[in-house]
Amino acid sequence: MATANLNMTLDLFKTAMNLDNVEYEPEQFPGAILRIHEPKLTLLLFKNGKLICAGAKKEEFLKKGLRKAGTLIRSVNKEAKKAKPEKPKTPKKQKEKPAATGKTAKDDQKKKK
């Protein structure tokens, strides 16, 4: 089993209508099921461009099947909007707090006089 990201938004209805061996029933499952016969693989396709591949007996079959599926899917979804690349999340910078000096407001007033 493997996962992949096509980095594009997919029109699953259009994909199901234009490709053989694609099942898409959004009422039952949010993804489309693409079955490839050579090499024998099953892929779950999702609208966000991510997919899950299962059924490969060897890694070389997996790679070959993913290339084949990617070509088929991209040919149908040519006009689909490319997904924006995800920005890595960085922790927010915390504002520096002044160090505690042990002085009070009265001490500051005494210095001014």
* Sequence ranges of the domains in the chain: 2-76
Q: Which residue has the higher pLDDT, 44 or 106?
A: 44
Residue 1 pLDDT greater than 90, yes or no: no
**Tens digits of residue pLDDT in 7-48:** 899 999 999 999 989 999 999 999 999 999 988 999 999 999
Question: Which of 40, 67, 39, 34 is CA-nearest to residue 52?
Answer: 34
**Tens digits of residue pLDDT in 50-86:** 999 999 889 999 999 999 998 999 899 886 555 555 5
Say which CATH superfamily domain 2-76 falls into. Answer: TATA-Binding Protein (3.30.310.10)
Count of CB atoms within 10 A of residue 83's CB? 16
Residues 60/35/54/3 CA torsion (nearest 10 deg)? 80
Residue 4 pLDDT greater than 80, yes or no: yes
